[in-house]
Amino acid sequence: MLTDWLLPILLFGALALMLIGATRRVLAWRAGRNEPVAVVAGLMAMPRRYLVDLHHVVQRDRFIANTHVATAGGFVAALALALLVHGFGVDSSILNGLILLSAAGMFVGACCIAWRRRNPPGRLSRGPWMRLPKSLLVFSTSLFLITLMTADWFPAGLVGWVFSGLLLIGLALGLAEMLVGMGWGGPMKHAFAGALHLAFHRRPQRFGGGRSTGLKPLNLTDSTLGVAKPTDFAWNQLLGFDACVQCGRCEAVCPAFAAGQPLNPKKLIQDMVVGLSGGTDAGYHGSAYPGKPVGEAKGNPGQVIVDGLVSAETLWSCTTCRACVEECPMMIEHVDAIVDMRRFLTQERGETPGAGVQVLDNLIATDNPGGLDPARRFDWAADLELPLIADVGKADVLFWISDGAFDQRSQRILRAFVAVMRAANVDFAVLGNDECDSGDVARRLGDDATFQRLARHNIEVLGRYEFNRIVTTDPHAFHVLANEYGDFGGHYRVQHHSMFINELMEQGQLNLQPKALGRVTYHDPCYLGRYNGEYESPRSVLSTLGIEVQEMTRSGYRSRCCGGGGGAPITDIPGEYRIADMRVDDARAVEAETIAVACQQCTAMLEGVVEPRPQIKDLAELVSEALVTEARA
C-alpha cells in the first residue's frame, strides 16, 4: 500500500530537514559572544522549568494555557508514537490507540486556537501565525485518519487511492509546518528554541520562584563596549530572541508603546531575530513601532544594529520597568538587550540623547545628576541634626539619602521619614556629603563606566563603617545597592522604607492616630515591585494606617510604570501621550483622591500631571502625618 513505504519517508525526511535547519540555527546563535552555561544541569532542569515556571506565567491566561497543554502535549506524544508505529513499523493496537488519542487532543487544542484566531486581539501577530492553527488541524486530522487506516480500523470500502493520497498530502503539509518549520524559522521555531532557551537561560535564578533583576556588569576593557552587532550579544541571548512566540503580552503592558513612543518590545525581539538570521522585517506581521513603518529595517549578524535595523529612539524609549520581562511566557530578557545596545550608543558612539549627555557629565564631575555642588549634598538636613556615621562610627540603620537630597519635593519625603524614625527611636546615621549618586541612572543610560566608578566609591565609603542594614526611601537606590553592588564586592542587607516602617509597625514602635484620607490607591514602583518582589509591605503599612487600598486594574506585578525609570524623562523621546498621565488616569478610574507612592521618582512624575488630579503622597509622609506627637518634657 502507498502508506507503507511513503509514511516513513515523509516522517524521516521531515525530521532530517528539521535537523539541518536546527543546526544552522544553532550555528547562528553560537556566533554570539561566549557565555559559559551549565549544559547538563540546564538540560536536566529544562522539563521542570517548562512545566512549572513557564506554565506559571502562561497560566495567567487560563484559556491559552489549557489550549497549549492539549495542542503541544498532543503533538509531542503523537509525533513520538507515529515515529514508532509509522516510522519503525512497530505494530501495536495500543500504540495505534494512543496515537488516535493524542491526535484527537491536539485537534481539540487546535480548534481552540483557531477559535481564538477568528478575531485576534491586536497584540497577536498574523501572517504565518494565522496559518498555524490550520496546519495543526490538518496535521492532527491526517494523522488520525492515516492511523485508522493503517490499523485497519477503517471501513474498507472507504479506503481508496485518492483518499489515502489526500491524507498523505495533508500529513506532508502538517509535517512541513511542524517539523521543517521548526528548524527553518517558522512559527514552530518557538518549540525548539524555547526549550533550549529555558535550559541555557542567562538568569537561571529566575526559575524555582527566585528572582534575578540586576544588570550584568560590563567588562570595560572589551574591544567593543556594549552590543553593536547581533553577534555582540551573548549566544544565549540570541537563543532567547528566537524563543519568542509573538504573543504580544509584552506589547500589551509596555508603557512606552501605549504612550505612542517608537517602542514595541515584541517588534524589538523580532528585529533581533532578523539581525541574527539576516534579512528584513518584511516578514513581520504584528504591530509596528508606533509611528514607524514596517518593512524598511534591514540587518544581518555583522551589521551594527542601530545602523538600519533598530532606531536609537526605540532603544531610548524604554523606561526599564520590566513589565515586558515579567509578562513574557518565554522569559525573554528585553531590558538586558536594550541596555546592552544603549551601552554601545553611550560608550562607543557618544550618542546619549536629550539631556542624557548633561546628566552623565554631571555625574562624572559632581557625583549627582543635577551638577550641583557636591559639598552641599547634606544641606537639606541642616536643621535636623542628623547623626553622621563618620562621627558615631556605627549604627543599626544606615539611612541612604539618595539624590532626593537635592530636590525640594523629595526632601519632604526624607524629612517625613526622619520624623518616623525619630518617633520610633531608631538608632540611625547618615553618610552626609560622603554619599554619592547610586549610579542607577548612569547605568540605565548605558554608561557602565560611571556606574562602576560610583559603585566602587560608595562601596569603599560604606566599608568604613559598621551598620546592620541600609534603609532608603528610593527604590532605585534600593535595587542598585541590593542587587547590583554585589558584583563589585558590596553585599548589604538593604531595606526599602516601606519594609522598614512595616517592621516598626509590627513591633508596635509607632504611636499612630490615623486620619481620614478618603479613597486611596497605591502605585507600585517598578523597582520595588517587579525588581524586588515587594508588594506586601507598602499595603500592610497602608492598612495599619486604616486605609483600604482601592487597587487599580494594573497593580502589583502588573503595575504600570510612572514613566520615570531608565532615564526616560532625561532622554525624553516624544510620544503621543505622557506615561504619567495614563497612570493618573488609572487612579482616576478607581476614583482615588490620594495616590500613595513609595518612590520619589514616581512622586515627581505623577505630580507633574496637570491638576485637578488625586494628590500624591509618599508612604513616609502618610505615616508621619499620622504620628501622635508627644509634648516634649
- Of 103 and 359, nearer to another protein (C-beta) is 359
Confirm or reject binding of residue 551 to another protein (CB under 8 A): no
Window 211-240: residues binding another protein (CB under 8 A): 220-221, 224-225
Q: Of 292, 349, 415, 578, which lies in the binding site for another protein, with binding defined by CB under 8 A?
A: 349
Q: Which is nearer to another protein, 228 or 626 (CB)?
A: 228
Contact 411, 618 (CB under 8 A): no
416-461-387-384 Cα dihedral, nearest 10 degrees = -40
What x-and-dash track marks residues 397-436 binding another protein by CB under 8 A? Answer: ----------------------------------------
Nearest-approach distance from CB 305 to another protein, in angstroms = 16
Report the residue from 296, 373, 379, 460 that binds another protein according to the rule CB under 8 A.
Answer: 373
Residue 191 CB, shortest distance to another protein, in Å, is 39
In whole angstroms, the minimum distance from the beta carbon of 471 to another protein comes to: 28
Residue 285 binds another protein, judged by CB under 8 A: no
Q: Which residues pair with 429 in a beta bridge?
A: 398
Nearest residue (CB) to another protein, 225 versus 332: 225
Strand partners, 388: 430
* CA trace torsion 185, 297, 33, 226 (10° rounding): -150
The least distance separating another protein from the CB of residue 376, rounded to whole angstroms, comes to 9
Q: Provide the grid cell at 516.
A: 481620614
Count of alpha carbons within 13 Å of 201, Cβ hemisphere only? Answer: 23
381, 430 contact by CB (below 8 A)? yes
Kindly state whether residue 449 participates in binding another protein, applying the rule CB under 8 A.
yes
Piece of the chain touching another protein by CB under 8 A; list 12-20, 49-57, 340-348, 580-588: 340-348
Position 307 contacts another protein (CB under 8 A): no
Sheet holding 520-522, edge to edge: 520-522, 594-597, 615-618
Residue 265 or 353: which CB sits closer to another protein? 353
Q: Which 3-state string (H, E, C) describes 349-368? A: HCCCCCCHHHHHHHHHHHCC
For another protein, the closer of residues 322 and 453 by Cβ is 453
Q: Based on the shown chain and the rule CB under 8 A, indicate whether residue 350 belongs to the binding site for another protein.
A: yes
User: What end-to-end distance do the CA atoms of the chain give, in Å?
Assistant: 104
- Identify the helix (H) or strand (E) that includes residue 468: strand 466-472
CB 384 to another protein: min, Å: 24
Number of residues engaging another protein in binding (CB under 8 A): 26
Instruction: Select 43 or 372, whichever has its Cβ closest to another protein.
Output: 372
Instruction: Please report how the helices 497-506 and 536-544 are oriented relative to each other, as an axis angle in degrees rounded to 10.
Output: 50
CB of 452 to another protein, least distance (A): 10
Q: How far is the CB of 349 from another protein (least distance, A)?
A: 6
The answer to whether 619 touches 599, Cβ cutoff 8 Å, is no
Nearer to another protein, 134 or 349 (CB): 349
Identity of the residue, 258 or 359, whose beta carbon is nearer to another protein in the bound complex: 359
Provide the 3-class DSSP secondary structure of residue 627: strand
Do 474 and 404 form a contact (C-beta atoms < 8 A)? yes
C-beta of 349 vs 456, nearer to another protein: 349
Q: Which runs of E-coded beta strand occur in 129-254?
A: none
> Can you tell me which of 242, 435, 437, 447 binds another protein, judged by CB under 8 A?
447
Q: Would you state the cell numbers that stand for residue 611, as one nine-digit string?
A: 491638576
Of residues 373 and 487, the one with the C-beta less far from another protein: 373
Site string for another protein, 351-370 (x = CB under 8 A): xx----x--xx--xxxx---
Give the angle subtended at the CA of 465 by the CAs of 459 and 470, to the nearest 5°.
65
The three-state secondary structure class of 425 is: coil
Closest approach of another protein to the CB of residue 281, in Å: 28
How far apart CA 245 and CA 257 sit, in angstroms, is 19
CA–CA gap between residue 603 and residue 599 (Å, rounded)? 6
Binding segment (CB under 8 A) for another protein, from list 43-51, 181-189, 414-422, 444-452? 444-452
Work out whether 346 is an interface residue with another protein (CB under 8 A): yes
Nearest to another protein of 367, 586 (CB atom): 367
**425 dihedral zone (left: phi>0; alpha: psi -120 to 50; beta):** left
The nearest distance, CB 567 to another protein, in angstroms, is: 14
Nearer to another protein, 85 or 315 (CB): 315
Beta carbons of 262 and 317 less than 8 angstroms apart: yes
Q: Which residues are CB-neighbours of 263 under 8 A, at least 6 positions away? A: 254, 256, 257, 289, 290, 314, 315, 317, 318
Q: How far is the CB of 342 from another protein (least distance, A)?
A: 12
> Cell numbers 487532543 correspond to what residue?
105
Point out which residues bind another protein (CB under 8 A).
Answer: 220-221, 224-225, 346-352, 357, 360-361, 364-367, 371-375, 447, 449-450
